[in-house]
Amino acid sequence: MPFELPELLYSFDALEPVIDAKTMEIHHDKHHAAYVAKLNDAVAKHPELGSKSVEELLKDLNNIPEDIRTAVKNHGGGHANHSLFWEIMTPKNRKPSTVLSEAINKTFGSLDKLMELITVNGMGQFGSGWSWLVVSGDKLKAYATANQDSPLMNGDIPILGVDVWEHAYYLKYQNKRDEYLKAWWNVVNWDEVAKRFEEAA
């Protein structure tokens, strides 16, 4: 079964004015679609991989045949990262649940401090990448990755991630990644992040 581009759960303009409709359309229909197509091209060369999920492929990258390992890392990472990204955004932003809030307060001091850390990590990521909140063992951690590298490759479970590739923000924010990251918090779907946290914990 080939990998498929997931449908957005909201319209392209739903996250306006934080993320403009044109950016959403190109990002989902062109960028994400290209990762899916190239991932399918890669796994088609190795039918023995069967029906593994993209998460399973990324967790076990060392056992992926060498001729497609880089493609799975880049395009599988791109597919997994964007699939999460669409779901952890919403026009109906609310604060995190109690369970997640308590874990955030315990690890980072407060939600504001966590948001600041993820923003700083995103600003500090030179070139393209992502800034993440992950469940690592029984801990929460925040860090950035380069390119489309997924936290799954480190054995961690991503529960929130913000795309800091220029394609995610350039049309509206141009070089001002800091303004994009600051505004982005207004569209975070904390209910979905909390759900992922509870599943991972």
Query: For binding to Mn ion (CB under 5 A), which residues are involved?
Result: 163, 165
For residue 62, the minimal CB distance to Mn ion (Å) is: 25
In this structure, what DSSP letter does residue 152 have? G
Q: Considering beta carbons, is residue 149 or 163 the nearer one to Mn ion?
A: 163
Distance between CA atoms of residues 116 and 110, nearest Å:
10
Residues in contact with 84: Cβ distance below 8 Å, sequence separation at least 6, in sequence order:
158, 161
Can you read off the two tokens belonging to residue 126?
């030179």
Q: Considering beta carbons, is residue 72 or 80 the nearer one to Mn ion?
A: 80
3-state secondary structure of 148: coil
For residue 164, the minimal CB distance to Mn ion (Å) is: 9
Can you read off the two tokens belonging to residue 25?
């359309």
Distance between CA atoms of residues 121 and 181, nearest Å:
10
Element (DSSP H or E) covering residue 6: none
Provide the sign of the torsion angle of the four alpha carbons 180, 181, 184, 186, taken in this order: negative
For residue 36, the minimal CB distance to Mn ion (Å) is: 13
For residue 200, the minimal CB distance to Mn ion (Å) is: 22
For residue 158, the minimal CB distance to Mn ion (Å) is: 14
